[in-house]
Amino acid sequence: MTCLNKRFVSLMNKVLDGEARREEKMELDRHMETCESCRNHFRELKQSTELLNHLSHPQLPFSFTKNVLDKLPAENRHALREWMSRHPVWATAAICALPMSFVMIAAKRQTFFQGKNGEDHGYLLLRVPEDRS
């Protein structure tokens, strides 16, 4: 009754792993036609693996991803980019304000150095002082 010849058990494993050649599969089939214990053994093995294949795959709740993100170390390298995508109006304003401020500073400098009578002190400052005696 109990055959379970090592060779046939290893053939069963090969078949179940999808690695048996055609001749090996035929050899096993031929043996199982006459050997009841091997036939039963192979059927039980197949049934067990089929049960595993049919186990359900439960899904995680939708909030899972957010919960993971909340626990990650703070995102620092992209803080600026993050802020910009969240506040596009302020970001645009800030970008425009930068060249604008240069223009304004430049304009201010010019009026400052020009003085009241329009004399260009700024220009004079850059020159080597002349002897005014």
Partner 1 sequence: MEYKEKRLIKKVKKGDHQAFAELVDKYKNSVYSICLRMVGNSQEAEDLSQETFIRAYKHIDQFDTDRKFSTWIFRIATNLSIDFLRRKKPSVSLDAELPGTDGLELKEILASGEALPDELVVWSETERIVQYEIDRLREKYRSAIILKYIQGLSLKEISEILGVPIGTVKTRIHRGREILRKNITAIRGEE
Selected from 7, 25, 30, 49, the binder of partner 1 by CB under 8 A is 49
The contact mask relative to partner 1 for 66-85 (x = CB under 8 A, - = no) is: -xxx-xxx-xxxx-------
CA-based Rg of the chain, rounded to a whole angstrom?
A: 43
**Whole-angstrom distance, CA of residue 38 vs CA of residue 36:** 6
The contact mask relative to partner 1 for 17-46 (x = CB under 8 A, - = no) is: x-----------------------x--xx-
Is 103 a binder of partner 1 (CB under 8 A)?
no
Number of residues that bind partner 1 (CB under 8 A): 30
- Which range binds partner 1 by CB under 8 A, 10-18, 21-29, 86-94, 101-109? 10-18
Is 6 a binder of partner 1 (CB under 8 A)?
no
Residues forming the site for partner 1 (CB under 8 A): 13, 16-17, 41, 44-45, 47-49, 51-53, 55-60, 64-65, 67-69, 71-73, 75-78
